[in-house]
């Protein structure tokens, strides 16, 4: 991972940029810098959080999204406006071919940017205090559960998270949230090198239009990106505005 210049970033059409932010290393001065960037509505929403940790997460997420969008769009961070789709997916409220998606878990925020294509990102902090197959039976497809059963026990949690993040990034790219049936598609779970959709039951050919990526830049976290487009490269950066 690297840190490119603070100024305008030229995003090439066939590349995804994914930025990782650590919530935990931000002091009050840093939080204030992010807070200053928020819209009046976002400030109001921030004031409603009961727990300080959630408020910090909200302010850093919205602030980092504005600062990074500024670099791609060349528009002042405070002047950027957003719309939300029927199921809550945020997008820019003006005409641009820049697309983004966000995910946060534990202390890490991931923001992915790309030109033109529908994109979804998911990051999860890895826990191991749950029954893998109980959760899988509610969320995974038959093909995914069958594959998971063949994985050695000590690897099951890791493979579970590979599957979970890939599936969630896919439904986030589709923008329909959990209204999209999770058993109507299957992801491969056993390879980070050749990550792909294995089946899209509503249209057998759709799986060929998608690319999936898995990333793991922090211990205890696993992330995935789904993109509807022929993208071959994801570049990862760490973001720190302090
Ligand atoms: N589509 C895409 N992105 C969406 C979205 C939608 N319909 N609704 C919200 N988002 C974005 C927002 O930017 C949100 O962050 P913000 O509110 O801070 O701006 C971000 O996604 C949240 O993503 P994440 O951090 O990964 O949260 P989540 O895992 O709790 O929820 C949802 C993701 C809201 C999109 C939804 O799919 C959900 O509730 N999932 C539950 C988890 C699940 O069952 N996953 C199945 C995996 S097999
Ligand atoms: Mg998630």
In this structure, which ligand is nearest to the CA of 139? Answer: 1
Ligand nearest to the CA of 65: 1
Same domain, 82 and 153: no
**Both 148 and 221 in a single domain?**
yes
For the stretch 165-218, pLDDT in tens is 999 999 999 999 889 999 999 999 977 778 899 999 999 999 999 999 999 988
In this prediction, residue 37 carries a pLDDT of 97
Q: How many domains does the chain have?
A: 2
- Among 116, 144, 173, give the residue marking a domain's end: 116
CA 164 to centroid of ligand 2, rounded, Å: 9
Residue numbers of the domain that contains 58: 23-116
Name the residue at shortest CA distance from atom 5 of ligand 1. 89
Considering the domain architecture, whether residues 152 and 217 belong to the same structural domain is answered as yes
User: Any idea which ligand is nearest the CA of 177?
Assistant: 1
Distance 167 CA to ligand 1 centre (A): 12
Instruction: Classify residue 224: in a domain, yes or no.
Output: yes
> Which of 83, 102, 212 maximizes ligand 1 atoms within 8 Å of its Cβ, making it the mutation to test the pocket?
102
Pocket test for ligand 1, best of 53, 63, 85, 103 (most atoms within 8 A of CB): 103
Q: Ligand 1 atom closest to Cα of 88?
A: 8
Kindly report the protein residue whose alpha carbon is nearest to atom 44 of ligand 1.
178
CATH number of the domain within which 105 lies: 3.90.470.20
**Residue bearing the CA closest to ligand 1, atom 45:** 168
Which of 2-6, 72-76, 118-122, 201-205 has the weakest average pLDDT? 2-6
Q: What is the 3-state secondary structure (H, E, C) of the chain?
A: CECCCCCCCCCCCCEEEEEEEEHHHCCHHHHHHHHCCCCHHHHHHHHCCCCHHHHHHHHHHHHHHHHHHHHHHCCCHHHCCEEECCCCCEEECCCCCEEEEEEEECCEEEEEEEECCCEEEEEEECCCCCCHHHHHHHHCCHHHHHHHHCCCHHHHHHHHHHHHHHHHHHHHHHCCHHHCCHHHEEECCCCCCCCCEEEECCCCCHHHHEEEEEECCCCCEEEEEEEECCCCEEEEEECCCC
Total-model pTM = 0.95
pLDDT in tens, 117-153: 999 999 999 999 999 999 999 999 999 999 999 999 9
- Answer with the one of 72, 101, 116 that is the final residue of a domain: 116
């Amino acid at each position: 991972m690297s840190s490119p210049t603070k100024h305008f970033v030229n995003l090439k059409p066939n590349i995804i940029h994914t930025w990782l932010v650590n919530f935990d290393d931000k002091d009050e001065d840093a939080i204030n810098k992010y807070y200053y960037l928020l819209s009046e509505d976002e400030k109001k929403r921030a004031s409603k959080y009961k727990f300080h940790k959630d408020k910090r997460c909200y302010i850093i997420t919205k602030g980092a999204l504005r600062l990074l969008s500024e670099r791609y769009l060349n528009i002042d961070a405070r002047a950027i406006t957003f719309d939300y789709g029927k199921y809550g997916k945020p997008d820019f409220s003006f005409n641009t071919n820049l697309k983004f998606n966000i995910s946060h878990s534990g202390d890490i925020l991931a923001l992915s940017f790309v030109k033109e294509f529908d994109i979804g990102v998911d990051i999860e902090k890895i826990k191991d205090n749950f029954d893998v197959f109980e959760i899988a039976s509610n969320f995974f497809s038959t093909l995914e559960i069958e594959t998971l059963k063949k994985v050695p026990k000590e690897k099951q949690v890791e493979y579970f998270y590979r599957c979970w993040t890939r599936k969630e990034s896919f439904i986030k790219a589709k923008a329909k949230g959990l209204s999209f049936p999770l058993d109507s598609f299957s992801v491969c779970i056993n390879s980070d090198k050749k990550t792909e959709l294995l089946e899209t039951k509503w249209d057998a050919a759709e799986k060929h239009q998608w690319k999936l990526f898995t990333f793991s830049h922090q211990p205890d976290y696993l992330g995935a990106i789904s993109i509807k487009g022929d993208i071959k490269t994801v570049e990862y950066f760490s973001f720190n505005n302090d």
